[in-house]
Amino acid sequence: MINIGVIGLGMMGLTHLDVYAGLATAKVVAIADADAGRRNGTVKARGNVEGQAQGRFDVASVKGYADGFDLIRDPNVQMVDICLPTPLHHRFALAALEAGKHVLVEKPLARTSADAFAIADAADRAFEKDGVLAMPAMCMRFWPGWTWLKQAVVEQRYGKVLAAQFTRLASHPGGAFYQSADASGAAALDLHIHDADFIRHCFGTPRAVRSVGYSKVTGGVDHLFTHYFYEDIPLVTAEGGWCMAAGFPFQMRYRINFERATAVFDASAASPLMLYQDGKLEPVALGKASGYQEEIEYFLGCIAAQRRPETVTLREGAEAVRIVEAEVESIRTGEACPLPHTR
């Protein structure tokens, strides 16, 4: 049994608490939020994904802190789950690692790639010193239908990938954090990073990106379309944005054209993953657990086994931020932006 402290009780904090409420391997012993209404459970949250943040965990039943650093200092807390606004991830993650606590950090790992790589470096030191484990909460790496895609690509199950298109579109979620490009990094960093990361997960770091996009809500990049350049895959693209008209339903989709099949994923469909092969169209059976649950269970399993996470690493979380920064730079210059290999 691992004792958990969750910092930040917005939409993601409440989503994680719902997951912990259903697990026998973890116990939430403390929560922290600067807002008293969040701490006592009177203020609720709402997410894009059906069934998310349902309030299954009673926040008033555990120790509540106004200051997240006090939660980190609580000797009863063994693992800190950071669901704070993005610019705070860096400071709180470093403090938790320094205190010798295991750390799960929501995506994007940090507001800048420099901060994100600094978290990865600090986690390496904390692992050497105290055996501390840390992971970015990149939920798509655990999402039903997306783990299927990664495996199909790795195994070349239907031949090579010829074309891959990812789409993630929403209306603007509202709220001060999401209104500010400085805080959230706009849709490019906050929303589209899921696809930038998954593209890298499947195909490696592109040699360059070429993006077009515009600002509508935050002053940052609120809607973009990117071409990822690879030597061996002709066409990899992604579109992400949160400036659709109010009422537009959340769209999370991919379409992958392999040499011998075409896979289509649509999160809103009754059978989200469909496969066209040999003139037939078949649904692909998917697991029922959410990506959030799979991600948290995976990290708890790593802690129980004292094994560093491999499905997603902090350095990969930082790489995803670096790719998005290159996309934003490409929009600024109107040119392709190269992505040199890093350390």
Ligand X SMILES: NC(=O)c1ccc[n+]([C@@H]2O[C@H](COP(=O)([O-])OP(=O)(O)OC[C@H]3O[C@@H](n4cnc5c(N)ncnc54)[C@H](O)[C@@H]3O)[C@@H](O)[C@H]2O)c1
Torsion of CA 174, 176, 178, 182, to 10 degrees: 150
Minimal distance, residue 318 CB to ligand X, in Å: 14
Q: Residue 21 or residue 88: which is nearer to ligand X going by CB?
A: 88
DSSP conformation letters of 178-245: HH-HHHH-HHHHHTTHHHHHHHHHHH---SEEEEEEE-SSSSS--EEEEEEE-SS-SEEEEEEEEEEP
- For position 321 contacting ligand X by CB under 6 A, the verdict is no
- Beta strand 102-106 with 337-338 is unpaired
Positions in 231-290 near ligand X (CB under 6 A): none
Count, residues near ligand X per rule CB under 6 A: 25
Minimal distance, residue 132 CB to ligand X, in Å: 21
Among 21, 23, 45, 336, binds ligand X (CB under 6 A): 45
- For position 38 contacting ligand X by CB under 6 A, the verdict is yes
Positions in 104-133 near ligand X (CB under 6 A): 106-107
Which residues sit opposite 82 in a β-bridge? 7, 105
- For position 85 contacting ligand X by CB under 6 A, the verdict is yes
- For position 8 contacting ligand X by CB under 6 A, the verdict is yes
State how far the Cα of 144 lies from the Cα of 108, in Å rounded to an integer. 20
Give the binding range for ligand X (CB under 6 A) out of 82-90, 127-135, 310-318, 333-341: 82-90
- For position 70 contacting ligand X by CB under 6 A, the verdict is no
Amino acid at residue number 15? T
Asked if 259 and 159 count as a contact pair (C-beta separation under 8 A), the reply is: yes
Give the binding range for ligand X (CB under 6 A) out of 77-85, 123-131, 145-153, 213-221: 77-85
Q: By the criterion CB under 6 A, which residues form the site for ligand X?
A: 8-13, 32-35, 38, 45, 68, 83-86, 88, 106-107, 137, 139, 175, 177, 190
